Amino acid sequence: MNNEKILIVGGVAGGASTAARLRRLNEKAQIIMFEKGEYISFANCGLPYYIGGEIKEKEKLTLQTPESFKKRFNIDVRIFNEVISIDRNEKKVKVKNIKTNEIYEESYDKLVLSPGAEPFKPNIEGIDSNLVFTLRNIPDTYKIKDYIEKNNCKKAIVVGGGYIGIEMAENLYNLGLDVTVVEMQNQIIAPLDFDMACEVQRYMESKGIKLMLESSLKKVTQIENTLEATINEDKLTADILILAIGVRPESKIAKEAGLELNERGAIIVSDNMLTSDKDIYAVGDAVEIVDFVSKEKAIIPLAGPANKQGRIVADNICGIESKYTGTQGSAILKVFDMTVATTGINEKMAKKLNLNYDKIFTFSSNHASYYPNSENMSIKTIFEKETGKILGAQIVGFEGTDKRCDVLATAIRFGATAKDLTRLELCYAPPYSSAKDPVNMVGFAIENIINNKVRNFHWEDIEQLQQNKDIILLDTRTEKEYNNGHIKGFINIPLDELRENLDKIDKTKKVYITCQIGLRGYIGYRILAQNGYECYNLSGGYRLYNSIYNETKTDTNSACVNPK
C-alpha cells in the first residue's frame, strides 16, 4: 500500500480533499492530481461575491496553488492537463496537455474521479451569444466581472432561481445593475416549499429585484452590445444574461470507460465511494448519493458532502474502513440581509414519498424580544406523525437563522424527535436567544400536536373552509390588527375577550381559529377545547397566509403565483 500510485481527476473540493488526506495517511504513495483548468482548490461558493465586490482580492478565491500543494503535501499537481480516457484493463489513463496538445499516458493502482458538474445550457436560438454567461470556475468569474466593468452594463437577466441564480442576482444588483430573475417554476429556491419561498420572494422584490415566475427563456437575439431575450411571449432587453438553470454531472470519461451511471448521468458508487470498478473511486457533484432522510437515490451537488467523500475515499484506499452515510441537503443562502437555510426533506418530497408526515410553522425571535433589534424567523418543520421524528426544516430569517438550522440538521442526523428538541439545553443570553430557544419552541409545538393538545389546519385549507357555512372562522387578534388586514370570512373576538364571549360562539359548530403567528390561536384553542368546543388552529397564522395571498397575488409576474 505504501508505494501505490494514485491518480486523481479533478482538483477542486472532492479531488483536493482526497489528495490532502491521502498524503496525511501515506507519506510514500505517489499521488498525481490532474486539473484541466488553471486553478485547484478554489472557492466555488465565493465566486458570485467576487463579482459583486464583497470579496475584493482575486487571491482570496484560491485556497491552494499547485506550488503550495506540492510544497506542503508533496503532490504532483498538473494543471491544464485533462484526462480524456480511461483504460480499465491496462489500468492507465490518457491525458492531454491543453497548452501543448501533447497526449500521454499514466498508469495507476487506484484512480479517483472528481470531475464535478457543468452548467446546463438549453438548446435554444442565440444561447451561444457572447453576452450569455455561465458561472462555474474562476475564469468564468473574471470574464463576467471584466465584461460588466468594461461595457458599463446597466441591465442584467438571470435565468434560474436556484442558489447560484439568487446569489448572482444580489451581487449584480449590488454593482448597480437593474436585475430580472427568470424562473420556470412558480417559486425560487427549489429546496424550499412554496409557502416558505414566498417570504423570500417578497423580500427580494422589496429590494428592487424583479421576479418573473412560471416563465422560461425561449430565444436570445444579440443586437450589437445588447441582447433581446424572449421570455414566454415577452421581450426583455439587457446588457448581459447569466444562465443559472442547474448543472449536470461531467461524467463523459466514466461513461466511455464503461462505469455504471444512473439515468441522469451520475456515477453510481457504493457507500465507500467505490464505482463499479474495484480500483476506481468517485466523489463530488458527479456521483449519485443516497438522501439521508428519504433513503432515495439523488444528485445533490454541495461542497460539504464532496469534501467528506474525498476523506472517505482516502481512508478506504489506505485500508481504513469508512462509509458515506448519505447527503442530508443542509444548505444556506444569503439574500441581501436575509438568511435562507434548509436541511432534510421538504414537504414536496414528503408528499412524493407518501410519508405519514405532518408540518408545523413557528415564528420566534432570534434573541430576547426585549433586547434591541430582535427579529422573527419563520420556521417550517416536517416530522413523522406517530413519533415526532424530525425529517426536515426550512428557516427564513436574519441573524441567528444559521445556528438554528445547524441545530436542527444535527437533530436530524442523530434521529431526534420533538421531545428531544424540548430537552436541548442551548446557550442563552438576551443578545443571542430566549430562555426557550426557537428550536425548543419547534419541539414544544410538535409535542402539543402529538399529545392532542392542539389540532392544526393550514393555509391551503382556507379556500375550502370559506365555502362552508356550518363552521365558525375566528380571528383572535386585536381589533386594530384585524382592521389592518384579515382573512375573508373570519370574525374578530380578541383573545383577551374570548372567555367573556363564549356565548356568541355556537358550540354545535367547529371553530377554526387564527391569530398573527399561531400562538394566540393556540391559547384560544385551549380555552375553547376545555369548554367543549371542537376547534382547530391555523399553523403560521395570518402572517404566513398574508405572505402568500396578498394584493399582488393576481399579478402573473409577482413573487407568488398559482400556490396550488
Distance from C-alpha of 309 to C-alpha of 324, rounded to nearest angstrom? 7
Residue 553 has pLDDT above 60, yes or no: no
Q: Which of 56-70, 116-130, 142-156, 497-511 has the lowest mean pLDDT?
A: 56-70
**Mean pLDDT computed over 267-273:** 97
Query: 59 or 373: whose pLDDT is higher?
Result: 373
Q: What is the pLDDT of residues 199-234, one digit of tens each?
A: 999 999 999 999 999 999 999 999 888 999 999 999
- What are the cell numbers at 119? 452548467
**Mean pLDDT computed over 553-557:** 36
- What are the cell numbers at 30? 505517489
Q: Where are the alpha helices (DSSP H) in 219-340?
A: 252-256, 303-317
DSSP-assigned states of every residue in 471-502 = EEEEE-S-HHHHHT---TT-EE--GGGSGGGG
Q: CA nearest 437: which of 403, 394, 412?
A: 403
Contacts 24+ apart (CB under 8 A), 497-506: 498/524, 498/527, 498/528, 499/527, 502/528, 502/531, 505/472, 505/474, 505/533, 506/472
Residue 557 has pLDDT above 60, yes or no: no
**Mean pLDDT computed over 161-186:** 95
Angle at 194 between CA 362 and CA 557, to 5 degrees: 130
Q: Which helix (H) or strand (E) holds 352?
A: helix 347-352
- pLDDT value, residue 490: 97
Instruction: Return mean pLDDT, the chain.
Output: 93
Angle at 100 between CA 97 and CA 102, to 5 degrees: 55
- Decide: 262 and 297 in contact? Cβ < 8 Å: yes
pTM of the model: 0.93
Q: CA nearest 169: which of 217, 269, 240, 248?
A: 240
DSSP-assigned states of every residue in 418-447 = HHHHHH------TTT--SS-HHHHHHHHHH
Distance from C-alpha of 176 to C-alpha of 330, rounded to nearest angstrom? 31
Sign of the alpha-carbon dihedral angle for 276, 83, 129, 45: positive
- pLDDT value, residue 124: 92
Residue 416, CA distances (Å) to 31, 71, 209, 389 in order: 41, 44, 39, 6
Q: Return the amino acid letter for 275.
A: T
Q: What is the pLDDT of residues 427-459, one digit of tens each?
A: 999 999 999 999 999 999 999 999 999 999 999
- pLDDT value, residue 137: 85
Q: Please, which pLDDT band fits residue 562 given cuts at 50, 70 and 90?
A: low
Q: What is the pLDDT of residues 35-93, one digit of tens each?
A: 998 888 777 788 888 888 888 887 788 778 889 889 999 999 999 999 999 999 999 99
Q: Which of 53-67, 249-263, 471-485, 491-505 has the lowest mean pLDDT?
A: 53-67
Distance from C-alpha of 444 to C-alpha of 381, rounded to nearest angstrom? 12
Q: Where are the alpha helices (DSSP H) in 252-354?
A: 252-256, 303-317, 347-352
- pLDDT value, residue 1: 59
Give residues with Cβ within 8 angstroms of 457, minimum separation 6.
465, 512, 536, 537, 538, 539
Q: Please, which pLDDT band fits residue 519 given cuts at 50, 70 and 90?
A: very high
- pLDDT value, residue 40: 84
Distance from C-alpha of 502 to C-alpha of 488, rounded to nearest angstrom? 22
CB neighbourhood size of 325 (10 A): 11
**318 has catalytic annotation:** no
- pLDDT value, residue 65: 84
Backbone angles phi, psi at 155, to 5 degrees: -130, 135
- pLDDT value, residue 62: 78
- pLDDT value, residue 560: 52
3-state secondary structure of 156: strand
- pLDDT value, residue 64: 81
Would you give the distance in Å from CA 503 to the centre of its chain? 49
- pLDDT value, residue 554: 34
Distance from C-alpha of 550 to C-alpha of 563, rounded to nearest angstrom? 12
3-state helix, strand, coil split of the chain in percent (to 5) is: 30, 25, 40
Burial group, residue 555, by CB count within 10 angstroms (0-12, 13-18, 19+): exposed
